[in-house]
Amino acid sequence: MTTKDSFTTSDGLELRTRSWLPPSTPDGSIILIHGYGDHCGRYERFAQVLNAASLAVYSYDQRGFGRSDGKRGYVARFDDLLADLDRFIEVIGPDIHGKPVFMLGQSFGGLLTARYAQTRQPDFAGLVLCSPFLGFPEHIPKALLVLGRFIATIAPWMPVSKVDSQGLSRRPEVVAAADADPLSYHGNVLARTGAEMQKAIAEVFRDIAQLMQPLYIAHGDADSIVPVSGSQSLYDQCPSEDKTLSIYPGGYHELWQDLEDEAMMNEVCEWIRQRL
């Protein structure tokens, strides 16, 4: 069963929510955080697989994405996203109380998941990071990254890069659907957004000792949007005593919509169920 609703952020934005519930009482709950340019409606199939594993799924369109309020594709402060997640968890609290809770973040949502765990230390049963955004691809010049931080202070709306949708999946129909999706953001990454991304990534590795929760990371080694090296570094440095890194040979960015989608989603479900 799928339900739709919304909640209001501390600064007055309305963010649209979506939940997928199994037919019987769930054994646990998943808080699903979508990626940059994305929206939670694209995760219908993944949510149904999680439902089949007796897991309830709760998600929302982040500010500036999907059906939610906010400047399209713009991140003024990464901390605003953390505060939005605080508010969302408060709203769904009565529904998830008493059962194990996991957070699942895709790409930029994986970065948000890691920072949330580090800064809030929530009592989650585990974290699932799918192709987490923990580094920039090699084709983006390092000089541009340095310059981008300067541009962000004087011209925050200036476009500095663009995500190539061809790297989402090896399935052409997935790329075509993403390109045609009116709720997805198809514009450029703006300078301020890029600078906030860089800052958050640096903070993840600066505060790596605070990442203690059980951790599962999935990444494709042919991901051209977010390099697998970031996931490898997080796995190597993370002090958690329960951590798994699953690298998919030839895998693209959205593994849950790539050629080995069934295997990837089933592996996520199995990892979660082992920790209920």
CA separation for the pair 188, 148 (Å, rounded)? 13
Q: Which two tokens stand for residue 207?
A: 């505060």
Within 10 angstroms of residue 8's Cβ, the number of other Cβ atoms is 12
Q: How much is the average pLDDT of 1-9?
A: 84
Provide the whole-model pTM: 0.95
pLDDT at 265 over 70: yes
pLDDT at 159 over 80: no
pLDDT at 145 over 70: no
Distances (CA, A) of 9 to 54, 62, 63, 83, 86: 30, 10, 9, 8, 9
Q: Which of 39, 151, 17, 212 is nearest to 95 (CA)?
A: 17
Share of the chain above pLDDT 70, in %: 95
pLDDT at 141: 60
Distances (CA, A) of 22 to 54, 89, 175, 253: 6, 19, 29, 27
pLDDT at 154 over 80: no
Q: Are residues 106 and 217 in contact, defined by beta-carbon separation less than 8 angstroms? A: no
- Ramachandran assignment for 131, one of left (phi > 0), alpha (psi -120 to 50 degrees), beta (any other): left
Q: How many helices (H) and strands (E) does the chain have?
A: 8, 10
Q: Which two tokens stand for residue 2?
A: 């799928």
State the pLDDT confidence band at 117, using cuts at 50, 70 and 90: very high
10 Å CB burial of residue 75 (0-12, 13-18, 19+) is buried
Q: How much is the average pLDDT of 202-211?
A: 98
> Is residue 53 helix, strand or coil?
coil
pLDDT at 196: 95
CA separation for the pair 231, 227 (Å, rounded)? 8
CA separation for the pair 1, 142 (Å, rounded)? 46
pLDDT at 14: 97
- Ramachandran assignment for 271, one of left (phi > 0), alpha (psi -120 to 50 degrees), beta (any other): alpha
State the pLDDT confidence band at 72, using cuts at 50, 70 and 90: very high
The rounded mean pLDDT for the chain is: 94
Distances (CA, A) of 17 to 31, 60, 130, 229: 11, 4, 20, 32
Q: How much is the average pLDDT of 66-87?
A: 97
The residue behind tokens 């089933």 is 266
The CATH class that applies to domain 2-273 reads: alpha beta
Q: Which of 101, 120, 115 is nearest to 57 (CA)?
A: 101
Q: How much is the average pLDDT of 254-265?
A: 98
**pLDDT 10s digits, 27-64:** 999 999 999 999 999 999 999 999 999 999 999 999 99
pLDDT at 113: 98
Q: How much is the average pLDDT of 145-166?
A: 76
What are the φ and ψ backbone dihedral angles of 271, each rounded to 5 degrees?
-60, -45
pLDDT at 245 over 80: yes
